[in-house]
Amino acid sequence: MELFRKTVFVTGSTRGIGLAIAHKFAQLGANVVLNGRHVIPESLLETFSHYNGEVLAVSGDVSNEADSKRMIAEVAKILGSVDILVNNAGITNDKLMLKMTQEDFEKVLKVNLTGAFNMTQAVLKPMSKARSGAIINISSVVGLVGNVGQANYAASKAGLIGFSKSVAREVAGRGVRVNVVAPGFIESDMTEVIPDKLKDAMLAQIPMKRIGKPEEIAEVVAFLAKQEYLTGQVLAIDGGMTMQ
């Protein structure tokens, strides 16, 4: 898919991996929709002012179905229908399973998995009608191999893979592709809070011996959006962490 002037909605793009993805698409000439739960500051929008495409800020909570529909309708009024959706918004709420409550579990599922469902549901009909579209879901290597203290997060990210493959099968014949990126350990606010001892243990498991950069994930997301004959795949970008 040619990205020039296509409209890309990146959920959770006020910082970290989502923001890097938004910049990558903007560099490639796409119109970009930024999203987060809170009002998006003008100063963040200004960092997009040197690109040729449009940039639009749409605040809302992806875990809320009505909010998701409202956001896509807002975009439709200004930029037209969404050509590419990147379901990137995600949270963690780490606890050992013995201490995890149902509330802890469901809170993470609601954003990471139901959020992707809500947003996909909101764009899928117009994409199917247009017989064109790309959805890229940001999972995690934790969804592939699990992690201590992250039963909720791992379940959400593994669920996202099953969800993506099912939707990919349903809409492949209609020209809509659904793929998954599974990042490893990437620099962001989410990993900043991990204690140093745990970070060292994680680094020891990475054959490339370094933490990844948000821009490295963004490159692959843009590639998946462009590549016309690729659907239902999971690409781990993890410095070799999960190679088999």
Ligand X SMILES: NC(=O)c1ccc[n+]([C@@H]2O[C@H](COP(=O)([O-])OP(=O)(O)OC[C@H]3O[C@@H](n4cnc5c(N)ncnc54)[C@H](OP(=O)(O)O)[C@@H]3O)[C@@H](O)[C@H]2O)c1
The catalytic residue positions are 153
Task: Answer yes or no whether residue 144 interacts with ligand X by CB under 6 A.
Answer: no
Among 12, 53, 133, 159, binds ligand X (CB under 6 A): 12
Among 3, 10, 17, 86, binds ligand X (CB under 6 A): 17
195-214 residues near ligand X, rule: CB under 6 A: none
Nearer to ligand X, 37 or 226 (CB): 37
Task: Answer yes or no whether residue 159 interacts with ligand X by CB under 6 A.
Answer: no
Nearer to ligand X, 59 or 227 (CB): 59
Task: Answer yes or no whether residue 113 interacts with ligand X by CB under 6 A.
Answer: no
Task: Answer yes or no whether residue 111 interacts with ligand X by CB under 6 A.
Answer: yes
Nearer to ligand X, 76 or 202 (CB): 202
Report the C-alpha dihedral over residues 86, 23, 42, 112, rounded to 10 degrees.
Answer: 30
Query: What is the Cα–Cα distance from 19 to 33, expressed in whole angstroms?
Result: 10
Per-residue string for binding with ligand X, 30-49, x by CB under 6 A?
-----xxxx-----------
Among 7, 61, 117, 120, binds ligand X (CB under 6 A): 61
CB of 227 to ligand X, least distance (A): 20
How many residues of this chain bind ligand X (CB under 6 A)? 30
Nearer to ligand X, 11 or 120 (CB): 11
Binding stretches for ligand X (CB under 6 A):
11-18, 35-38, 61-63, 88-91, 111, 115, 138, 140, 183, 185-186, 188-191
